[in-house]
Amino acid sequence: MEPKIKIEHLGKNFFSRRQTIKALDDVNMEFAPGEFVSIVGPSGCGKSTIIRMIDDLIKPTSGTITIDGFTYDNKKEIPQSFIKKLGFVFQLPNLYPWLTVRQNLYLPLKVYGMMDSEHVHHVEDLLEMTNLTEVGNIYPNQISGGTAQRIGVIRGMVHKPEMLMMDEPFGALDDETREKLNMEMLNIWKQTGMTIIFITHNVSEAVLMSQRVYVMQANPGHVKAEVKIEFDEERSLELQHTKKFINYCNQIEELIGKVDLNDVV
């Protein structure tokens, strides 16, 4: 099967007056249609830079990105029709405080010229799917941080993207809320069949949700390993207590090279 997204020999240098920062070097990744893949790795290894290049917000220094068979690079731009296939969710929801939740969700539809009944219905479906219909008409300062984050997740999907890039979407949340949203996210993924690229520092949430995990390293950013996550049973929070789950986490932590501060002292 052709990959939905393919990244080949991707490199990125940032130039400042004094130095060149080699942010990424020869990164190769593939994402199959409908696959849920996480990217983990230390701060500065270039995770966010990769998805900013997929969105064509910044240009790669070398290499190519191919979406649905269309290839773009340093010189060639991604067509607008392809940008609409992509959705983004960031660490902070950044909702506009003067707009109600529902108006915030309509905003991307207005920007994309998609404010039609199909998509307005879709907003209602998403609100219902996440039990948030009742907050639709209230303002962001009246909802909790966890709820605001869920709205941020939904906002990335109102235009029915085929691919969703999530950059540490639950990084600012407490464990309990995060776990709840992890399960909600899995549910949404199953219902929509989107291809999801999920960036996180939390190895446990990567193992819980992903079919595959790319482990990156920094200086320069590159892919160190790729770990396939396979469970016979349905994904659930209980899975986190199984030996297999813990083994996956340990394997990935080791690949990242995390230092246990207890060992240092």
Report, in Å, the least distance between residue 262 CB and ligand ATP.
23
Contacts 24+ apart (CB under 8 A), 69-77: 69/2
202 binds Mg ion (CB under 5 A): no
Report, in Å, the least distance between residue 183 CB and ligand ATP.
24
Report, in Å, the least distance between residue 243 CB and Mg ion.
31
Contact residues: ligand ATP, CB under 6 A: 14, 21, 23, 43-49, 221
CB 101 within 8 A of CB 136: yes
Residue with tokens 């609100």: 127
Q: Which is nearer to ligand ATP, 47 or 150 (CB)?
A: 47
Q: At what angle do helices 145-155 and 101-111 cross, to 10 degrees?
A: 20
Interface with Mg ion in residues 93-132 (CB under 5 A): none
Q: Which is nearer to Mg ion, 48 or 217 (CB)?
A: 48
Q: Is 26 helix (H, G, I), strand (E, B) or coil?
A: strand
Report, in Å, the least distance between residue 77 CB and ligand ATP.
19
DSSP secondary-structure letter at 240?
A: G
CA dihedral 32, 178, 173, 205 (to 10 degrees): -50
How large is the greatest C-alpha to C-alpha distance in the chain, in angstroms?
60
Q: Which is nearer to ligand ATP, 51 or 188 (CB)?
A: 51
- Of 48, 100, 192, 217, the residue at the interface with Mg ion (CB under 5 A) is 48
Q: Which is nearer to ligand ATP, 132 or 199 (CB)?
A: 199
Rounded CA gap, 88 and 225, in Å? Answer: 25
**Contact footprint for Mg ion (CB under 5 A):** 47-48
